[in-house]
Structure 1
Amino acid sequence: MIAEALITLSKPKVKISPFMKVSNSSNFQVSEFILKGLPGIYSWQHWLSPPLALLYLSSLGANLLILLTIQQEPSLHQPMYQFLGILSIVDMGLATTIVPKILAIFWFDAKAISLPECFSQIFAIHYFLAMESGIFLCMAFDRYVAICHPLHYPTIVTDSSVFKATVFMVLRNGLGVMPVPVLAAQRDYCSSNEIEHCLCSNLGVTSLACDDRRVNKICQLVIAWTLLGGDLCLIILSYALIIKSVLRMNSTKAATKALSTCSSHLILILFFYTSIVVLSVTHQAGRKFPLIPVLFNLLHNVIPPALNPIVYALRTKELRLGSLKLLRVHKEYR
């Protein structure tokens, strides 16, 4: 009895993070996670870092150029471009949440990530994806009012309404996705701490839990259908009304112009939601081919931030000319 008491007293006291749920039934409690990287290609995954770093830098550069162009060009101080500027900020936030840590894994073998950092990354990824979906909805509503109710557009879509819509999306998505990391933090991680991924995904992290994680799966599914699914339904409704209004136009030129203003937006929407569907399908094949869902998850979070500004710059004449003008002025100044 005395020996057991001494052993107990000699054990070092471990400071438990508030994010960790301590289990009385286990002798081991995970204090950090290890992000192993891309399954099956650990030995040469570092060769993917140059294109990933280039993609990240191009994403930051292109989105910053969009923001500066919108700020400097008076003709672009319109709601449609204001929403595009917000989308650029969201894209930079999403890319910065993910890419630096992945590059640290590939370059410096910095695979360890603390529990608070991991759960914070889970929140940030879900939040920025929900924000991107919400901004797409705002942009669809903007196009709907501009095409279907052009006379009322100046009174409906104002700077005040853009600000209110943005604040609403920030609060809605922040509160909406909060249960995902909170529930993940409530799980009991008492065995393995190695994650077969290069980022903290909700299902990847909770798969290591010793207790029941069905509530996490259900929560993520409900949030995805409520936020992203709800946004998609309203976007489809908006464009259905737009197409209906365009078909009623007597002028072919006016109809073509109306649709051309929506083309870049439609391209990004199709890519964003299609990639989510593909990601969901490939996740089911994760047991046999673990690299596929991990790779698609990575690409889904990295490619859109770089793709969005390029598509808008190429498809929108005013933005393209403004960007070239800004680059020309900067070059002459240097």
Structure 2
Amino acid sequence: MAAFNFTPSDSLSFILMGIPGLEADYIWIAIPFSTVYTVGLLGNITVLFLVGKEQSLHQPMYLLLCMLALTDIGISTSVVPKALCIFWFNMKDITMAGCLTQMFFLHAVSLMQSAVLVTMAFDRYIAICYPLNYATILTNTRIGKLGVAGLVRSVLFVLPLPVLMSRQPFCANHIIPHTYCEHIAVAKISCGDTTVNRMYGLVMAFVVIGLDLMLVVLSYGLILRAVLRISSRKAHQKALNTCTAHICVMVMSFTLFFFSTLTHRFGQSVAPHVHIILANLFYLFPPMLNPIIYGVKTKELREKVGKYTCKG
């Protein structure tokens, strides 16, 4: 069989199957997909609007919320529009260049979100353990620099994924049994040796994201130790309340990420349609729930939402 190597002039394309086995239900599946995506989009745009509009919210914590909102929009938009094209219009074709572009943005934004979550954990650590020095340690400028560092890290670590994949030969099988061009899903249909691709993807997932998770756990471990040293029960509750939203978001994001990654590589016993649906949840529900969680748990955001709602 002839092998095709990707170059910009190649006409090589893939077929994204969506959710194999559930083709008859695509119209119904598209309804929750589009609803959750729209709600998430509106919620995150609302966060960006409020923080941008209100001078009182131009603080490190809210700048981090804006970064999280941008990554949420980027993650869901990398996946959902193409999935809806498959469900509604049976548009399953995707070019090699389009597939590699989707792969890059999907994984880069996910890695960027992980960096933002680490920075948010550090923000809470400083706010609770060193409240008097918070304003001098975490300035808006410093938060901006951390954001740029996270972006550069994401690009540098993720760029090898599509570059390595572009060098792979693809023979007769161009069918990807998924709703998006996930790195391992594409590697599985290559007729070449994908050992380096698979190992690099695994290292990136568990070393880079794993290190981020360890830093988050360390931050909250130090926060818990500091809180337990506080004698006042009221102060206990106040300190923990400032972390509740962050903990909910981080547990949800990291759990879904590692579950999806492990299932892709080692979940042969999991039915394909179950795995694909669960993998999509990682890109659907956190972007929808994050602004809701922060809206409910953050008094300032609730007040600003009420202000503009009443004004409208």
TM-score above 0.5, yes or no: yes
Q: Which of residues 16, 27, 42 is equivalent to 1:61?
A: 42
* 2:62 match: 81
**Of residues 13, 17, 20 in structure 2, which corresponds to 1:39?**
20
1:321 equivalent in structure 2: 303
Larger Rg: 1
Equivalent residue runs for 1:256-271 within 5 Å: 256-271=237-252
In structure 2, the partner of 1:295 is 277
Q: Which runs of 4+ in 1 moved over 4 A?
A: none
> 1:174 maps to which residue?
155
Q: What is the Cα deviation at residue 19 of structure 1? A: 5.5
Note if contact 2:5-2:169 (Cα within 8 Å) is conserved in structure 1.
no
What RMSD, in angstroms, separates the aligned Cα atoms of the two structures? 1.7
Match of 2:7 in 1: 18
Secondary structure of the 1:43 match is: helix
Q: Superposition pairs for residues 177-196 of structure 1, below 5 Å? A: 177-196=158-177
- 1:122 — aligned with what? 103
1:244 to 2:225 alignment = yes
Alpha-carbon contact 1:122-1:201 (below 8 Å) kept: yes
Amino acid aligned to 2:289: L
Equivalent residues of 1:121, 1:200 under 8 A apart: yes
**Residue among 291, 309, 312 paired with 2:294:** 312
- Listed one character per residue, the Cα deviations across residues 112-145 of structure 1 (whole Å, up to 9, x for unaligned) are 0000000111111111111111100000001111
Q: CA deviation at 1:251?
A: 1.6
Amino acid aligned to 1:309:
P
Q: Which moved more, 1:42-51 or 1:140-149?
A: 42-51
Q: Using the alignment, how far apart are the partners of 1:228 and 1:30 within structure 2?
A: 35
Deviations, residues 257-301 of structure 1 (Å, cap 9, x unaligned): 111001000001011111123224433334661112211111111
Question: How far has the Cα of 1:155 moved from its partner?
Answer: 0.8
TM-score for the superposition, normalised by structure 2: 0.94
- Amino acid paired to 1:290: P
Q: For residue 24 of structure 2, give the secondary structure of its aligned residue in structure 1.
A: coil
Relative to structure 1, is the Cα distance of residues 286 and 37 closer, same or farther in structure 2, using a 3 angstrom cutoff? farther
Contact 1:32/1:112 (<8 A) preserved: yes
Other structure's SS at 1:151 match: helix
The letter of the residue matching 1:228 is: I
Counterpart check, 1:139 vs 2:120: yes
Distance 1:33 1:170 in 2: 29
* 2:229 counterpart of 1:229: no
Deviates further, 275-284 or 53-62: 275-284
The within-5 A match list for 1:196-235 is 196-235=177-216
- The aligned length equals 308
Counterpart amino acid of 2:277?
Answer: L
What's the secondary structure of 1:50's corresponding residue? helix
Task: Quote the Cα distance in structure 2 between the aligned partners of 1:116 and 1:290.
Answer: 25
What is the deviation of 1:328? Answer: 2.1
Q: Percent identity?
A: 38
Q: Is the 8 A contact 2:6 2:167 kept in 1?
A: no
Q: Where in structure 2 are there 5+ consecutive unaligned residues?
A: none
Q: Alpha-carbon deviations, 1:143-180, whole Å to 9, x = none?
A: 11111111111110001101110010010111111111
Q: Does residue 276 of the first structure (1) align with residue 257 of the second (2)?
A: yes
Q: Distance in 2 between matches of 1:198 and 1:153?
A: 44
The answer to which of 65-74 and 96-105 deviates more is 65-74
The separation in 1 between residues aligned to 2:27 and 2:187, in whole angstroms, is 26
> What secondary structure is seen at the aligned counterpart in 2 of 1:242?
helix
The answer to which of 288-297 and 152-161 deviates more is 288-297
Match of 2:14, SS state, is strand
TM-score (norm 1): 0.88
Which piece of structure 1 moves more, 37-46 or 302-311?
Answer: 37-46
> Is there any run of 5+ residues in structure 1 with no aligned partner, and where?
1-14, 21-28
- Matched with 1:107 is 88
